[in-house]
Structure 1
Amino acid sequence: MVTCDLCGTTAEEDVAVLTWTTAVENGRPRRFCARCSREHLRAMESKLDSEWW
């Protein structure tokens, strides 16, 4: 199971690999569910850390 670092949603690893977004912030890997990824796409593209969302 993996957990979204923003909203806490959980999913099986095989599902998350296909639909979730992975980022590295301050050397720490972060995972975001598909819903959070869509909501914050522009911030992700501009490489803002999730604390700015």
Structure 2
Amino acid sequence: MTSPPADSDDSGAPAEPQPLVCARCGRRAEGPQPTWTFSVDNGKHQYFCDACSRENLRAIEGRLDSAWW
């Protein structure tokens, strides 16, 4: 799980963007990933890679928690 990057760190310098990690399979994003899915389950921010998103599209559209699928 990766949370969105902060605007800056304690020194005021811009924060380094964190790579996205798929909450389902653990795949790491290589650069920008516009095809990945972002979800909030019980207040927890999660990202899912395009493969996991496609495999679970019906559950995602049905708004089922990721623990279910």
Normalised by the size of structure 2, how large is the TM-score? Answer: 0.69
1:1-53 deviation line (CA, Å, top 9, x unaligned)? 11000000001352x2x110001000111100000000000000000001101
Q: Report % sequence identity.
A: 51
Alignment equivalent of 1:12, drawn from 8, 30, 35: 30
**5+ unaligned residues in a row in structure 1: which ranges?**
none
Normalised by the size of structure 1, how large is the TM-score? Answer: 0.89
Partner of 2:63: 47
Is the partner of 1:43 in helix, strand or coil?
helix
Of structures 1 and 2, the one with the larger relative CO (CA 8 A, separation 6+) is: 1
Partner of 2:45: 29
- Higher relative strand content: 1
- Pairs aligned (count): 51
Please say which structure displays the higher CA radius of gyration: 2
**5+ unaligned residues in a row in structure 2: which ranges?**
1-18
